[in-house]
């Protein structure tokens, strides 16, 4: 019997997943970019290992060790059962059976289970209103490894087939970047097996008076960001305010970038080769969008500042100058803070709520590398390689580079 371990960053929760011998790997999976997943995690999409296929669903007693967030959704999810014997686990649609039936029935409860202390998103459960569990899904980011040794061979536990619910992204989200997996083209879908078509008329014009809403699913964290208004001249090495410039030479976008470090992966439960963050100075963040809004942070931010509705966690025990915050109610990852730069916060990109799309190139200037600069495209790429393998990280970086060129943020 094969075993995997699911655990959170602080190790308050640890669970051994026992997988029967007749379960064949890799299991076909797709990313999910729906709004519900995004706002209750802070991620731009999620990728899971289906417990129904592994038949390793934790008991209610085990799940009591985690915090939970219940959400009623307007769609039903069906998933085929594991084929018998040596049957191929992929269906005729390339394994895209996870969301094979979606209807506006309003009869589905999605429950997120996360560690109340460190915020790791661990497990996702779909149930009917009768509380009968229909599907269980382990967040890939909380698993101890993504490969198993089978008959002396290293086998991945999941085979990524494509991306789902892309219409919620507006701009295509992760499908812009993660285009291939093990050399095969990843499919793009929205609802059921309807192929996603890119939106044609996403506004690109920058409105100086516009404000950007950042919020989690339950809106315990709910703030508004103004366009950058830094004092000029900008300090040397200032990268958080980005081009383009207005007619006065003031930048109008914020720097967004990727990290694949184990700490980000575990504290978020992130299932991607790299997790995206955006850096925003606190001076540009407000508690409302009113004409004279109250600043979100009053006074100087410190690593011990308590923020309403959020749980503080020290992810680096040896350095209390670094702290992370997640929503105490829905569990969404919100903020990474380093006291050495007390004027700025690093926020989960998935929290941004914009009609311009998840990647929101109207507000964010994405770091997609520069051949003349030593700063890597992905921070702590080495951690991503150890987890995903060199080939997957190369494919992800190649997609990131191509996307950067296509949006004019890389030459």
8 DSSP assignment:
-
pLDDT at 46: 95
**Looking up tokens 């779909």, which residue turns up?**
126
- Whether the predicted pLDDT of 98 surpasses 60: no
pLDDT at 132: 65
- Summarize the confidence of residues 227-245 as an average pLDDT: 83
- Summarize the confidence of residues 126-138 as an average pLDDT: 72
- Summarize the confidence of residues 235-241 as an average pLDDT: 82
Torsion of CA 103, 32, 34, 208, to 10 degrees: -160
pLDDT at 324: 98
pLDDT at 194: 81
Q: Residue 263: pLDDT band by 50, 70, 90 thresholds?
A: very high
Structure tokens at 346: 């690093």
Nearest alpha-carbon partner for 334 in 324, 322, 342, 344: 324
pLDDT at 220: 97
Helix, strand and coil percent figures for the chain, each rounded to 5: 15, 35, 50
The whole-chain average pLDDT of the chain stands at 87
- Summarize the confidence of residues 137-147 as an average pLDDT: 95
Highest mean pLDDT among 1-5, 36-40, 90-94, 238-242: 36-40
Prediction pTM value: 0.91
Coil vs helix vs strand at 139: strand
Distances, alpha carbon 348 to alpha carbons 86, 95, 212, in Å: 42, 30, 14
Domains and CATH numbers, the chain: 2-87+96-188 (no CATH), 211-406 (2.170.150.70)
pLDDT digits (tens, 9 = 90+) for 183-204: 999 999 987 678 899 887 787 7
- Summarize the confidence of residues 202-231 as an average pLDDT: 92
pLDDT at 94: 35
Report the distance separating Cα 342 and Cα 232, nearest Å: 19
pLDDT digits (tens, 9 = 90+) for 271-324: 899 999 999 999 999 999 998 999 999 889 999 999 999 999 999 999 999 999
pLDDT at 128: 59
Report the distance separating Cα 320 and Cα 323, nearest Å: 7
pLDDT at 23: 87
- Whether the predicted pLDDT of 342 surpasses 80: yes
pLDDT digits (tens, 9 = 90+) for 48-92: 998 877 888 898 899 999 999 988 776 544 444 333 333 333 333
pLDDT at 247: 82
Least confident piece of the model among 135-144, 233-242, 310-319, 382-391: 233-242
Highest mean pLDDT among 3-17, 98-112, 133-147, 236-250: 3-17
Q: Which residues contact 237 (CB under 8 A, 6 or more apart)?
A: none
8 A C-beta contact, residue 343 and residue 300: no
Highest mean pLDDT among 77-86, 95-104, 331-340: 331-340
Coil vs helix vs strand at 399: helix
């Amino acid at each position: 019997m094969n075993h995997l371990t699911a655990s959170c960053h602080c190790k308050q929760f640890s669970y051994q997943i026992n997988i029967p011998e007749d379960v064949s790997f890799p299991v076909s999976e797709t990313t999910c970019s729906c709004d519900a997943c995004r706002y209750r995690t802070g991620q731009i999409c999620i990728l899971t290992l289906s417990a129904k296929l592994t038949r390793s669903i934790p008991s209610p007693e085990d799940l009591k060790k985690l915090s939970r967030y219940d959400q009623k959704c307007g769609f039903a999810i069906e998933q085929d059962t594991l084929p018998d014997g040596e049957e191929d686990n992929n269906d005729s649609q390339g394994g895209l059976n996870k969301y094979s039936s979606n209807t506006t029935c309003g009869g589905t409860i999605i429950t997120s289970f996360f560690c109340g202390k460190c915020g790791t998103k661990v497990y996702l459960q779909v149930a009917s209103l009768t509380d009968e569990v229909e599907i269980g899904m382990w967040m890939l980011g909380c698993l101890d490894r993504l490969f198993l040794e089978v008959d002396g061979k290293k086998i991945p536990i999941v085979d990524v087939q494509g991306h789902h619910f892309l219409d919620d992204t507006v701009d295509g989200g992760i499908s812009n970047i993660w285009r291939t997996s093990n050399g095969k083209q990843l499919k793009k879908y929205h609802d059921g097996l309807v192929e996603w078509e890119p939106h044609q008329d996403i506004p690109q014009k920058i409105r100086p008076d516009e404000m950007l809403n950042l919020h989690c699913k339950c809106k315990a964290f709910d703030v508004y960001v103004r366009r950058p208004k830094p004092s000029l001249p900008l300090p040397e090495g200032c990268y958080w305010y980005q081009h383009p410039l207005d007619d006065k030479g003031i930048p109008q976008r914020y720097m967004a970038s990727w990290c694949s470090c184990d700490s980000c992966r575990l504290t978020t439960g992130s299932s991607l080769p790299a997790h995206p963050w955006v850096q925003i100075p606190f001076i540009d963040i407000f508690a409302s969008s009113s004409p004279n809004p109250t600043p979100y942070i009053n006074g100087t931010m410190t690593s011990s500042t308590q923020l309403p509705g959020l749980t503080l966690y020290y992810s680096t025990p040896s350095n209390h100058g670094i702290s992370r915050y997640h929503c105490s109610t829905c569990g969404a990852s919100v903020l990474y803070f380093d006291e050495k730069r007390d004027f700025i916060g690093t926020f989960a990109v998935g929290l941004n709520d914009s009609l311009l799309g998840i990647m929101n190139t109207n507000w964010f200037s994405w770091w997609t590398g520069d051949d003349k600069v030593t700063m890597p495209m992905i921070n702590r790429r080495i951690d991503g390689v150890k987890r995903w393998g060199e080939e997957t990280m190369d494919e992800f970086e190649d997609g990131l580079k191509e996307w950067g060129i296509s949006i004019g943020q890389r030459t």
